[in-house]
A and B are shown apart, each in its own frame.
Chain A
Amino acid sequence: MNKMFFRSALLLFSSMVLFACSDDDNNDKGNPTQPEFTPNGAYVLSSGGKGNNAATIAYYSMDTKEATQHVFTSANGINLGDTGESMIAYGSKIYVAVYNSGIIYVLDNNCKILNTIVAAEGEDKLQPREMDAANGKVYVTLYDGYLARIDTTSMTIDKRIAVGPNPEGVQVVNNKVYVADSGGQNSANGYNNTVSITDLNLTTVKTITVGMNPQEFAADKYNNLYLVSRGNYKTDDTKVPNKLQQINTATDEVTILDEDRTFTMYPNGDKIYLINKVYVNSLPTTTIACYNILTKTVTDESFITDGTTISDISFVETEPVSGDIYVAAANKKNNGDVYIFSSEGKFQRKFDTGSSYPMGIAFIQK
């Protein structure tokens, strides 16, 4: 999920290019050049925790350096729902998956609802998790074992295909859609260990074997795909550690790069920061390591250079023009925070996200 918002910004840019020359069918991810638009704001989605109906979106203005909470509610007069799961900006629209409410919102740049996507009468609940976009389509994983495709013009699901159990992360790269089949509802039997790969039209699926409990993808500028499998979260002798893996998008071969240091990834240039989370004295503690994709080595380097400590980092994104680093952090069941660091890793400021568990950030230009 991590990388998704960075990519979303790029996609936003790319889609503008697409609108300009709509026949251009190139995959827009492999070429992360600086976007031509300059983001002046960021939406931040918070989950709110299950059963609280407390999902919310905050808006951070880069011009005023001020955050406004609950902008979705202000814009629409209703609340988002229960458990905000993920958010991407693509084209001129923002897509928000609210998992437990079974709803995907399509919003405009001001957070106004353009359409809501829910299960049709008589159908099972829509269970949206993560999203990625390419070629005028948004791909979304559905927790009951599907990958669905949203047409960005009609703003409806135009196709779906069965993938593995409890899919989480999704990534379009090299004209293929990769889906992490986590098996999160089968923890008692060792989760699941496959990635489903399908084409952009969702016609056939093949699976490859990866580490236990695959969760999130990221792609680098060389079209390499990285995958985090989170293992079984255990600390005793039955522990299966988390794994950083690389998938060759031409051959779909899987290579293990590192173990036990990656809960979530933050790619930045030629580096992938490996963010791990463990409990130390009953408190969550975040550790940061760095995988250099050129030297293929892991060092202790952090993207935070001024000694700021954040105990429970949820995800990290780069604002694509300034290079500022946005670090989202959870605070127990309390409201989350976003810390903004300069591209050199110096703390600038932070703001409250308005609800618990920040889940996604989308950079936009208003």
Chain B
Amino acid sequence: MKLLYTSLVLFIQSIFVGAIAQTNDSIDMQYIKEVQVSTKAAPPTVLSTVPVQVLTSESMDKIGVVSVADAVRRFSGVVVKDFGGIGGMKTIAIRGVGSEHTAVLYDGIAVSNAQSGQIDIGKFSLDNVEMLSLTIGQSDDIFRTARASASVGVLNIQTATPHFKNKDYLARLQLRAGSWGQFNPYLYYAHKLGEKFSFSVDGSWQRADGRYKFERKNATEVIKGKRRNTDVDIKRTELNLFGNLSETQKLSFKVYYFDSERGLPGSIVLYYDGNKERLWDKNFFTQAKYVNYLNDKFNFQVQAKYTHTETRYEDTDGKYVNGWLMNKYIQNELYLTSTALYNLNKDISFSLAEDISYATLNANLAQFAFPERYSSLTALSAKYDNNRLSIVGKLLGTYVSENVDYGTAAKDKKRLSPSLSMSYRLLDVTNLRVRASYKDIFRVPTFNDLYYTGTGNSSLSPEKTQQYNLGLTWTNSFSDLFNYFSVTTDIYHNNVRDKIIIYPSSFYPKSVNLGKVEINGFDINMNARFDMSSKVNLQLSGNYTYQDAIDKTDPEDKNYKDQIPYTPKHSGAGSVTLENPYVNISYSIVASGITYALPQNTDMNKVKAYTDQTISVNKSFEWQAIKFRAQADISNLSNKTYYVVKDYPMPGRAYRFTLRMDF
């Protein structure tokens, strides 16, 4: 930790020295205004009282990001647990806290999974995504749902809203093909319906056989193989209706459907390769949102969502009754939320959000609990915001009640969770801000934790977390050439108590509240842009994360003070993009230090460090009023098999070509 502080201090000093040297040279100091450079309504990463990271569709296109998961792993402080390949599950864990604590919002409304509590971000397509943003801690935006405040961090996936210019429709056709039989056509059409309404509809199909090569060390030997049972077939469609009812009233409505079939290659098992497991997912949801900016003082919004999710799992093996196993799970959820915002004056505002939801889980299992959950979340927020100082405070009240058809229902859960965050501009002369935040939050046990046949334990308590963050942010424009520079750096401390684990006993396993984790770390993010001319520019971005996430459960344990599983001490990402009139080129890298697959930090449990490098080139041109964009990406340049999750190899070098046509 000492080394960490020293290096942090040195680093900050070096920025200042550099900055002073620069500013002394330049008489006309070009301080950029304290606004986000992007033209999109992105959350301000530098002004924010908590760490916020943003990737726009434009920047993702530039660096050749292939999926939501591939984008998210470029954020600092995040581990994307990736089981490899297109069909492999991908979940996000923030700053050493389990992935059940990360909320995923799709256009502002939470995507829920009461069964496992984990959202597989592998299921979302990047095709119609306008922006991804990750907020760690409490968001500064207080005009949002209560559920958006009920987690350690939030990934918001923002889809595109059509902007019509000189015609009343927009259309896009995109074809993508690549290694291992990847084929991914995408079609988008938007139409303006009079002055007030418009709609968009899109659909994509993604298929791949996914049979990539891998290598694995087995003591002194090297196993070379090809992944089997990796095929995916994913269909996705979405319909959006947008209404600007009046100057102050907005309405939006969405229907989403996802249907997939995939083989599950499973982990590499030494001496056996014959996994036959398959998984079918169907996900339907519809959501509606009404916003009324009534006047300067008072705004409110109402949203509703209905979700239906079906998961079917099949396996064939002589050990099952009749040699076959089929598990089917159906989840339904109805969710209503409303938020009122009151601006006392231009600096002070308050909001009150109330969310209620009803969720059920059905399964084709004998003696299944068939749980249903009622939850109510109430969030009261206050915000003070002027140019110099912003403070956001929030109090979240949670009430959860459950019933079961079979067995014992969990007791009602009531809890108050406070959070407080601030950002302060230190000096008039430069955009240097200090920020600090505290958040206390928990997760309720999932249906699997509580009622899963065998391991379920309905007497579980919530898993509690506390987050502390202290950071510095700075943004500057040095000259016409060195147009933009920003740096954000945060040190943090998190702790997790009553961690829910499946007790991995040698006898029957059971979910229990057992585990304490302490996490200390720091993140640094940098972005820079050089404009050589109006058409040539160089963009650089990089981040580094240090996480010391150790188990503090019991001094008698062999893993006491060991780094928790799948949490690298060191990780980072970076990219360089050169835009020019000929062909745009980008290089990016994701790197992770060693992790451990199991709690005890032994050699046998070690998962090696890795880097994954991508090169992407693209060229845009117009032909007969059609805008073309052609892109080629090569991912995992070094073609070395690496592992995020032990024995789930990631693909080697892969090629991908994309042709996009905008009409």
List chain A positions with a Cβ less than 8 A from chain B. 47-49, 51-54, 56, 70, 73, 76-82, 98, 100-103, 118, 124-125, 127, 143-145, 165-166, 185-189, 233, 236, 238, 263, 277, 279, 282-284, 312, 314, 330-336, 354-358
Contact = CB atoms under 8 A, between A and B. Distances in A.
29 contacts: A49-B504, A51-B267, A52-B597, A52-B646, A53-B269, A53-B647, A54-B605, A76-B219, A77-B219, A77-B221, A78-B220, A79-B270, A98-B271, A103-B272, A125-B272, A144-B318, A188-B366, A188-B453, A238-B367, A284-B503, A312-B505, A330-B505, A331-B558, A332-B503, A332-B504, A334-B559, A335-B600, A335-B602, A356-B504
B460 to A, nearest CB: 9
Contacts, number: 142
Contacts of B559: 332-334
Contacts of A354: 604
Contact of B512 (A80, A98, A102, A279): A279
A171 B537 CA distance: 77
B30 to A, nearest CB: 56
Nearest to B602: A335
Contacts of B219: 73, 76-79
From A118, A124, A331, A336, name the one whose CB has the most chain B CB atoms within 10 angstroms: A331
B582 interface: no
Interface in B256-272: 266-272
Contacts of B510: 279
Contact of A185 (B221, B320, B597): B320
Contact of A166 (B319, B323, B365, B604): B319
Contacts of A98: 271
Contacts of B270: 53, 79-82, 101
Given A78-B221, A186-B321, A333-B599, A53 B408 contact: no
From B320, B323, B514, B605, name the one whose CB has the most chain A CB atoms within 10 angstroms: B605
B506 interface: yes
B598 A49 contact: yes
Interface string B310-347: 00000001111101010000000000000000000000
Main secondary structure on B side of the interface with A = loop
A166 B358 CA distance: 40
A324 to B, nearest CB: 22
A145 B322 CA distance: 11
Given A100-B272, A238-B367, A357 B600 contact: no
Contacts of B647: 51-53
A144 B271 contact: no
A233 B508 contact: yes
Contact of A282 (B266, B507, B513): B513
Nearest to B274: A125
Given A51-B269, A335-B600, 6 more contacts: A82-B269, A100-B272, A186-B321, A187-B454, A277-B507, A332-B599
Contact of A103 (B221, B271, B318): B271
Interface in B108-134: none
Contacts of A165: 321
B598 A77 contact: no
Interface residues of B, number: 48
B158 to A, nearest CB: 36
Contacts of A143: 318-319
A143 B321 CA distance: 12
A233 B454 contact: yes
Given A53-B269, A188-B366, A355-B604, A333 B598 contact: yes
A77 B513 contact: no
Contacts of B646: 51-52
A188 B367 contact: yes
A256 to B, nearest CB: 21
A73 to B, nearest CB: 5
B598 A356 contact: yes
Contact of B271 (A81, A124, A331): A81
Nearest to A53: B270
B317 to A, nearest CB: 7
Given A185-B319, A333-B504, A334-B559, A236 B367 contact: no
A358 B503 CA distance: 16
A127 B600 CA distance: 28
B507 A263 contact: yes
A81 B269 contact: yes
B516 to A, nearest CB: 13
List of 5 A-B pairs having minimum Cβ-Cβ separation, nearest first: A144-B318, A282-B512, A188-B366, A330-B506, A334-B558
Nearest to A146: B318
A54 B219 CA distance: 11
Interface in B394-410: 407-408
B506 A357 contact: yes
A21 B454 CA distance: 50
A103 B599 CA distance: 27
Nearest to B559: A334
Contacts of B480: none
A312 B506 CA distance: 8
A145 B505 CA distance: 25
Contact of B507 (A238, A284, A331): A284
From A49, A73, A79, A143, name the one whose CB has the most chain B CB atoms within 10 angstroms: A79
B313 to A, nearest CB: 14
Given A279-B510, A332-B559, A185 B321 contact: yes
Nearest to B507: A277
B269 A79 contact: no
Contacts of B558: 331, 334-335
From B318, B504, B557, name the one whose CB has the most chain A CB atoms within 10 angstroms: B318
Given A277-B505, A279-B510, A312-B506, A334 B600 contact: yes
From B318, B319, B365, B506, name the one whose CB has the most chain A CB atoms within 10 angstroms: B506
B166 interface: no
B295 interface: no
Interface string B622-663: 000000000000000000000000110000000000000000
Given A52-B646, A125-B274, A145-B318, A236 B220 contact: no
A98 B220 CA distance: 20
B181 to A, nearest CB: 26
Nearest to A54: B604
Contacts of B268: 53
B604 A56 contact: yes
Contacts of B600: 333-335
B325 to A, nearest CB: 8
B218 interface: yes
Given A118-B271, A282-B503, A333-B600, A236 B407 contact: yes
